[in-house]
Amino acid sequence: MSDSRTGDDRSGASRTDVMGVDACPTGWVGVVLREGHFASAHAAPDLGGLLEHARDVAVVGIDIPLGLLDSHWRQADRLAAARLGPQRARVFPVPPRQVWEEDDYAAANHRCRRVTGSGLSRQTWGLVKKLREANRVRDAGDGRLYEVHPELSFMAMADGSPVTWSKKSWNGQQVRRRLLRTQGVVLPEDLGTVGRVPPDDVLDAAAAAWSADRIARGASDRLPDPPELTAHGLPIAIWW
């Protein structure tokens, strides 16, 4: 797909199917929107299996870092954290590619300190399996994948105010569900077997789908703008 700035969303351009994706304890969960409204939800142990349900979607917004630099931290994460202000800890800084090529946390942390001068948190290293999986898919040529961050999506839905409540809390989940409803994304009470996925992951996938819809319509914002680029020319940015 071409750059998200193409098209003319704001004057009523046509919509199409999109999918939002989030990692979950059992693998991945996806929410499909049609014409901006909930169409279906899916879960799969691997990303390839989940994308089998996305063959006809135009854009896949995924909450996982896409694109790594050779020797630097990414601007996208620094800028997203700054935008979230008091909630900046919800954005993990993503170290260079060589850090993610290590076999375990100790080696990755050592490499990170040697290359960047800073250590690597265990929480960030916890993304390694899903990060590698998603980047393999995009690097193999699936240009529909765009990195999104649900907290930036919810912030945009709330007219620029980040959600203060944790997404794990009752209050936080109700606020996020209400924000989705204001945008026409109404999640059903019964999601079938997908309902076994933790609710915060489903809500994040729905927010990712909302951002994917904005990308498909040319209405999205991104950080940085223009994006950084990988060594192979793929964009490194967070869209919402």
Q: Where are the domains of the chain?
A: 9-87+127-239, 93-126
Statement: residue 8 has pLDDT above 50 = no
Strands 59-62 and 145-147: parallel
**What does the alpha-carbon distance between residue 149 and residue 62 come to, in Å, rounded to a whole number?**
8
The CA-atom distances, in angstroms, between 180 and each of 8, 47, 229, 234 are 23, 24, 31, 30
**What pLDDT digit, counting tens, does each position of 9-18 carry?**
333 345 789 9
Pairing mode, strands 18-24 and 59-62: parallel
Range 138-151 burial, b when 16+ CB lie within 10 A, else e:
beeebebbbbbbbb
Mean pLDDT of 161-171: 97
Question: What pLDDT, on the 0 to 100 scale, is given for residue 161?
Answer: 97
Q: Say if residue 7's pLDDT is above 90.
A: no
The residues that bridge with 31 in the sheet, in sequence order, are: 20, 41
Q: What percent of the chain has pLDDT over 90?
A: 93
Using only the alpha carbons of the chain, give its radius of gyration. Answer: 17
| Residue 19, strand partner residues | 32, 60
Residue 2 has what pLDDT?
A: 32
Whole-angstrom Cα distance, residue 239 to residue 150? 10
Q: What pLDDT, in 10s, does the model give residues 84-130?
A: 999 999 999 999 999 999 999 999 999 999 999 999 999 999 999 99
CATH number among 2.30.29, 3.30.460, 3.30.2000, 3.30.420, domain 9-87+127-239: 3.30.420
Report the alpha-carbon distance of residue 207 to residue 150 in Å, rounded: 5
pTM of the shown model: 0.92
Q: What is the mean pLDDT of residues 126-153?
A: 97
Contact between residue 209 and residue 19 where contact means Cβ atoms under 8 Å apart: yes
* Residue 232, token pair as written in the block: 């192979």
Distance (Å, rounded) from C-alpha 124 to C-alpha 109?
Answer: 10
173 confidence band (pLDDT: 50, 70, 90)? very high
**Cα distance between residue 184 and residue 179, in whole Å:** 9
